[in-house]
C-alpha cells in the first residue's frame, strides 16, 4: 500500500490500530471488557483445579469457555472463515482456541474479511513463549505414552500458533513468535510496529497468547515469593491490589488479546477508523537474569519511548502501568515514573488493568494496550481495584471508581523477569 | 471383540477428527486420504482407534494400508494374535 515515492523517500510509516479482540476472565469481546473497565468488574476466585499445589491459588481464570460456543459470537464474518476457524480449533489446545477467538474479533473490527489486500503484505507476530505448558502437563496423565496423540509433535511447539493463525486467515507475509516474559505483549506490538514502519508489511496481526500455566509454573512462582493471595483466601476479589500497602504478589489471570496494526495509509485508503496510533516504542535490557526490577531501566524505556514519539512527559495524560501487585515491582515502577514525570506526576492518571483481569503474563501488554485504547476513545480512566492505602501519595492513582478523563496521549509499560523493560506511547490517532 | 466393534471404533475416531462427516455415509472401502485426512490426521485417527481398543501397535504397521477395510483387517489380525 506504500507508494513508490514513500519508499524512495525512505518514509517511516505511521502505525495505527484498526482492530481489537479479547477474551479474559471478564468475558469475551471488547464491549464486555469496556463495560468491566467502566464498572470496575473483576473475576478473581480461589481455584480448586490445582489440588496438587502446596497452597490454595487465587486466579482470574476464563469462565466456562467452550470454543464452539465462543464462535457463535461472530455473526458478520463469512461462513468459510468461521468454518476454517472451527476446523483449526477443534481438538486444539486452549491456547490455540482462545487466540483464534480474539483474532476473529479483531479481524471483524478491522473489516479485513471484506477488504482486498495482498496476503504477502500481511504479517503475524505472536506474543509469548512456553505457550503449551498446561497442554504438555495434561499429557503426563496419559497412562501409556504409546497412545500419545501424534499431533502432539506439532502442538507442543509455540509456532503452532503462527501456523494455525496464518492458515485460518490466509496470512502469507512475515510471521514470528516473540518472547520476553511479562513484557512479551509489548515486545510483539513493538516488533509489528517496526515491520510496518520498515515497509515489510502493510498490516500485522498481533496476538498475545493466553498463559496456560501448569502446576509446575504456579508452584515455582509461589516458591520464589512472586504469587500473592496468602492473606486473602476468604476474599479472593481483594488479592490483586497493585500499588496498595497490603499487596503480596501477582495474581495470575488467563486472557488473550489481538490487535490489528496497519499503516495509516492503508487504513485511510480502505476507510477504516483509527482506534489509536503508536507514536513511540522502546525496549531495553537491564543485563540482569533475575526477577529484580530496575528503576533506571524502567525510567530509561519510558524516556526512550517519549523521545521516539517526539513528546515530553507533560504530553502524557494517562499511564497504564505494569502494576502487578508485587512488592518490589510496584515500588520500583512508581520510583521510575516519578523520575520520568517529575512535577507532572500530579497530572498523569495511573492505573493497573491487572487489578481487574489479573496478570496475563505473555498477553498482558496486548490486553493492556486494548484497555488503554478503550479509555482513550471513551474519555475515562478505569478504577484501581483494592487500592485502599496507596504506597505513594504524590501519584495521581485512579480511585476505586472509574473517572472521566480526556486523554490525547497515553503510555503503557510492561516489564519482565530477566531484565526486560518496555514502554509504548499511544495517541488518539487522528 | 467383533469386526463390527473394531469398525465402529475406527469410525468414531474418524468422526472425532472430522466431526463434519457425522451425517456422511462412510463406507469401509474408502481410504482416509480420500476422506481428506493428511498424514497427521491419519496417524491421529489410527492412534485414537488404538486407544479406544486399548491396543499397542506401532503406527508403522499401518504404513501400507490402502483403505479402511485394510485398517480393520490389520486390527483384527493383531487382536487374534494376542
CA triple B24-B26-B31, angle to 5 deg: 130
Spell A391-407 as b/e; 16+ CB within 10 A means b.
Answer: beeebbbbeeebeebeb
Can you give the pLDDT at residue B78?
87
The secondary structure of residue A64, as a DSSP letter, is S
pLDDT value of position A1 = 54
Across the interface, whether the CB atoms of A150 and B59 are under 8 A apart is answered yes
pLDDT tens readout for residues A91-130: 999 999 999 999 999 999 999 999 999 999 999 999 999 9
Judge whether A167 is closer than 8 Å to chain B, CB to CB: no
Nearest to B44 among A87, A144, A151 (CB): A151
Between positions 74 and 113 of A, the ones with CB within 8 A of B are 87, 90-91
- Which chain A residues touch B38 with a CB distance below 8 Å? none
Chain A residue whose CA is closest to B47: A147
Residues ≥6 apart with Cβ < 8 Å to B38: none
B47·A90 Cβ contact <8 A: no
Measuring CA to CA, which residue among B37, B34, B47 is closest to residue B75? B47
Q: How many CA atoms within 13 Å lie on the side-chain side of B21?
A: 16
Cell of A172: 502469507
Q: What b/e sequence results for A266-275 when a residue is b if at least 16 CB atoms lie within 10 Å of its CB, and e otherwise?
A: bbeebebebb
Nearest Cα neighbor of A325 from A196, A236, A402 is A236
User: Least CB-CB distance to B56: which of A87, A146, A154?
Assistant: A146
Work out the average pLDDT over A240-253.
98
Three-class SS state of A359 = strand
Separation CA A299–CA A310 (nearest Å): 16
How far apart CA A15 and CA A371 sit, in angstroms, is 18
pLDDT tens column, A261-278: 999 999 999 999 999 999
Could you report how far apart the first and last alpha carbons of chain B are, in Å?
A: 12
User: What is the spatial distance between Cα A430 and Cα A408, in angstroms, rounded to a whole number?
Assistant: 10
Name the DSSP class of A291. Answer: S
> Strand, coil or helix: what is A322?
coil
Q: What is the ipTM metric for this complex?
A: 0.87
- Tell me what pLDDT residue A13 has: 86
What is residue A203's DSSP assignment? Answer: E
Per-residue pLDDT of A208-219, as tens digits, reads: 999 999 999 999
Find the helix or strand (DSSP H, E) in which A422 lies.
Answer: strand A420-427
Question: Beta partners for A47?
Answer: A57
C-alpha grid cell, residue A90? 477443534
Q: Residue A8 has what pLDDT?
A: 45
b/e map A1-13, b = 16+ CB within 10 Å: beeeeeeeeeeeb
Tell me the pairing of strands A122-127 and A255-263: unpaired
Whether residue A30 contacts residue A19, with contact meaning beta carbons closer than 8 Å, is answered with no
Is B49:B13 a contact under the CB 8 Å cutoff? Answer: yes
Residue A353 CA to residue A355 CA, distance in Å, equals: 5
State how far the Cα of A275 lies from the Cα of A206, in Å rounded to an integer: 15
Cα Rg, chain B, nearest whole Å: 12
Cβ contacts of B43 on chain A, cutoff 8 Å: 150-151
From A99's Cα to the closest Cα of chain B, the distance in A is: 20
Of A37, A115, A46, A13, nearest in space to A373 by CA: A37
Quote the mean pLDDT of chain A: 95
pLDDT digits (tens, 9 = 90+) for A145-190: 888 999 999 999 999 999 999 999 999 999 999 999 999 999 999 9
Whole-angstrom distance, CA of residue A298 vs CA of residue A285: 9
What is this structure's pTM?
0.95
**Beta-carbon count within 10 A of A159 CB:** 13
DSSP at A182: G
Give percent helix, percent strand, percent coil of chain B, each to the nearest 5: 60, 0, 40
Q: In this complex, do A150 and B51 lie within 8 Å of one another by their Cβ atoms?
A: no
Cβ–Cβ contact A146 with B under 8 A: yes
Residue A7 scores a pLDDT above 70? no
Q: What is the pLDDT of residues B10-65, one digit of tens each?
A: 999 999 999 989 888 888 889 999 999 999 999 999 999 999 999 999 999 999 99
Q: What is the Rg, in whole angstroms, of the alpha carbon atoms belonging to chain A?
A: 20
Q: Are strands A175-178 and A403-404 parallel, antiparallel or unpaired?
A: unpaired
| Strand segments (E) across A203-296 | 203-208, 252-253, 255-263, 276-285
pLDDT at A430: 75
The answer to whether the Cβ–Cβ distance between B16 and A146 falls below 8 Å is no
Asked if B14 and B21 touch (Cβ cutoff 8 Å), the reply is: yes
Tens of pLDDT, residues A350-383: 999 999 999 999 999 999 999 999 999 999 999 9
How open is the CA angle A27-A373-A127, to the nearest 5 degrees?
70
Using CA atoms, how far apart are residues A403 and A101, in angstroms rounded to an integer? 30
Asked if the model's pLDDT at residue B82 lies above 70, the reply is: no
Q: In the numeric block, which cell numbers belong to residue B37?
A: 485426512
Report yes or no: A23 and A98 within 8 Å, Cβ to Cβ: yes
A-chain CB neighbours of B17 within 8 Å are 91
**Residue pair A255/A9 in contact by the 8 Å Cβ criterion:** no
Residue A136, Ramachandran bin (φ over 0: left; ψ between -120 and 50: alpha; else beta): alpha
Which residues of chain A make contact with B59, given a CB cutoff of 8 A? 150
Amino acid at each position: 500500500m506504500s507508494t513508490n515515492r514513500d519508499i524512495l523517500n525512505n518514509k517511516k510509516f505511521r502505525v495505527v490500530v484498526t482492530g481489537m479482540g479479547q477474551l479474559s476472565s471478564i468475558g469475551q469481546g471488547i464491549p464486555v471488557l469496556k463495560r468491566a473497565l467502566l464498572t470496575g468488574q473483576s473475576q478473581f476466585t480461589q481455584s480448586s483445579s490445582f489440588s496438587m499445589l502446596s497452597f490454595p491459588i487465587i486466579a482470574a481464570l476464563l469462565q466456562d469457555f467452550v470454543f464452539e460456543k465462543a464462535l457463535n459470537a461472530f455473526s458478520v464474518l463469512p461462513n468459510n472463515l468461521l468454518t476454517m476457524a472451527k476446523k483449526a480449533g477443534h481438538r486444539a489446545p486452549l491456547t490455540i482456541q482462545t487466540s483464534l477467538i480474539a483474532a476473529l474479533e479483531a479481524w471483524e473490527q478491522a473489516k479485513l474479511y471484506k477488504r482486498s489486500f495482498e496476503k504477502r503484505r500481511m504479517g503475524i507476530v505472536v506474543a509469548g513463549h512456553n505457550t503449551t505448558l498446561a497442554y504438555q502437563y495434561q499429557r503426563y496423565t496419559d497412562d501409556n505414552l504409546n497412545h500419545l496423540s501424534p499431533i502432539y509433535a506439532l502442538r507442543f511447539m509455540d509456532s503452532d500458533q503462527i501456523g494455525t493463525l496464518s492458515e485460518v486467515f490466509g496470512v502469507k507475509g512475515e510471521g514470528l513468535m516473540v518472547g520476553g516474559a511479562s513484557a512479551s505483549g509489548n515486545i510483539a506490538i513493538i516488533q509489528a510496529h517496526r515491520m510496518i514502519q520498515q515497509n515489510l508489511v502493510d498490516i500485522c496481526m498481533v496476538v498475545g497468547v493466553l498463559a496456560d500455566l501448569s502446576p509446575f509454573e504456579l508452584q515455582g512462582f509461589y516458591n520464589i515469593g512472586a504469587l500473592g493471595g496468602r492473606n486473602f483466601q476468604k476474599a479472593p476479589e481483594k488479592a490483586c491490589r497493585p500499588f496498595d500497602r497490603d499487596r503480596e504478589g501477582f495474581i495470575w489471570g488467563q486472557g488473550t488479546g489481538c490487535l490489528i496494526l496497519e499503516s495509516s495509509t492503508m487504513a485511510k485508503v480502505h476507510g477504516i477508523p483509527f482506534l489509536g496510533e503508536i507514536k513511540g516504542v522502546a525496549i531495553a535490557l537491564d543485563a540482569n537474569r533475575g526477577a529484580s526490577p530496575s528503576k533506571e531501566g524502567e525510567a530509561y524505556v519510558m524516556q526512550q519511548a517519549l523521545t521516539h514519539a517526539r513528546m515530553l512527559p507533560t504530553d502524557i495524560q494517562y499511564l497504564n502501568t505494569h502494576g502487578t501487585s508485587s512488592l518490589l515491582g510496584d515500588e520500583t515502577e512508581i520510583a521510575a515514573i516519578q523520575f520520568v514525570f517529575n512535577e507532572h506526576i500530579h497530572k498523569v492518571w495511573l492505573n493497573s488493568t491487572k487489578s481487574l483481569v489479573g496478570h496475563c503474563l505473555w498477553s498482558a501488554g496486548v490486553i493492556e494496550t486494548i484497555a488503554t485504547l478503550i479509555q482513550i476513545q471513551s474519555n475515562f480512566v478505569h478504577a484501581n481495584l483494592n487500592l485502599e492505602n496507596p504506597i505513594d501519595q504524590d501519584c495521581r492513582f485512579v480511585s476505586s471508581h472509574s473517572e472521566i478523563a480526556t486523554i490525547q496521549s497515553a503510555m503503557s509499560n510492561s516489564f519482565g523477569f530477566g531484565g526486560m523493560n518496555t514502554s509504548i506511547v499511544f495517541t488518539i490517532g487522528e | 471383540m467383533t469386526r463390527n466393534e473394531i469398525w465402529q471404533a475406527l469410525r468414531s475416531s474418524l468422526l472425532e477428527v472430522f466431526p463434519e462427516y457425522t451425517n456422511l455415509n462412510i463406507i469401509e472401502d474408502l481410504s482416509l486420504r480420500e476422506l481428506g485426512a493428511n498424514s497427521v490426521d491419519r496417524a491421529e485417527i489410527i492412534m485414537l482407534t488404538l486407544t479406544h481398543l486399548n491396543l499397542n501397535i506401532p503406527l508403522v504397521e499401518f504404513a501400507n494400508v490402502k483403505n479402511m477395510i485394510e485398517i480393520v483387517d490389520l486390527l483384527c489380525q493383531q487382536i487374534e494374535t494376542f
